[in-house]
Amino acid sequence: MAPEAVEIRPAQDGDRHALGLLFAAVAEERDGIAAEPPIDVERRAASWDLDHTLVALSDGEVVGVIYVIDSNFGFGEIAMMVAARWRGRGVGTALVAAAIDSARARGLHKLALSVFPHNEAAMVLYRKFGFVEEDRRTKHLRRDSGELWDLIDMGLLL
Ligand SMILES: CC(C)(COP(=O)(O)OP(=O)(O)OC[C@H]1O[C@@H](n2cnc3c(N)ncnc32)[C@H](O)[C@@H]1OP(=O)(O)O)[C@@H](O)C(=O)NCCC(=O)NCCS
């Protein structure tokens, strides 16, 4: 699938349910994002901050999302996910590129994010855009399993 088959646009109210479902599906994987099931889909959908949220669409279906939470200090924090069956096809790349453009356009000086050290796909993606490792937080997150996972902080100066 060519990346151009996917449209990237700002999220709209009508995307909320799809975003809640995507978030819940990725949380079920217990691998890439901090959240773990159970996720209350409707609650997550309703509380989603659509500001600076970009969605990737294929044939009108939400297949990925990236969101940037702007701080009051010039940097924004990224979180993102792509539906499992759409991974490895350039959707993540298109989302990160669009988020960087948007962050630059509104004058942020830096994007930051946290990633689990085992998340090779995500780290490859972020490094491709110039994000660098800035810190490692040891045994930072306690998982439902009781395991304690490290987090790597990455940053990109815009
Ligand atoms: C991380 C994630 C967003 C990447 O999205 P994606 O659509 O698969 O990304 P792309 O297809 O654009 O691939 C980006 C790069 O990573 C590489 N890549 C993809 N999967 C990989 C893997 N498992 N191992 C190593 N590299 C990988 C691709 O080859 C590509 O590099 P290239 O352009 O040089 O070929 C997606 O895997 C995901 O949603 N994971 C679950 C949620 C998550 O981890 N979110 C991020 C939390 S920090």
> Does residue 8 have its Cβ closer than 6 Å to ligand 1?
no
Phi-psi region of 122 (alpha: psi -120 to 50; beta: other; left: phi over 0): alpha
b/e burial code for range 70-79 (CB count within 10 A of at least 16 → b): eeeeebbebb
Average per-residue pLDDT for the chain: 97
Q: How far is the CA of 93 from the centre of ligand 1 (A)?
A: 8
Q: In what order do the strands lie in the sheet with 53-58?
A: 7-10, 53-58, 61-70, 75-82, 110-115, 148-157, 132-142
Residues 129-156 pLDDT 10s: 999 999 999 999 999 999 999 999 999 9
Which pLDDT score is estimated for 3? 54
Per-residue pLDDT, 26: 98
Q: How far apart are CA 143 and CA 4, in angstroms?
A: 37
Q: What is the pTM of this model?
A: 0.97
In this prediction, residues 76-99 reach a mean pLDDT of: 98
pLDDT of residue 1: 52
User: 99 CB under 6 A from ligand 1?
Assistant: no
State the residue for tokens 């040891």. 138
* Residue 139 φ/ψ region, left for φ over 0, alpha for ψ in the -120 to 50 degree band, beta for the rest: left
pLDDT, one tens digit per residue, over 39-85 is 999 999 999 999 999 999 999 999 999 999 999 999 999 999 999 99
Nearest-CA residue for ligand 1 atom 36 is: 82
Position 2 scores a pLDDT of: 54
Ligand 1 in reach of 126 Cβ (< 6 A): no
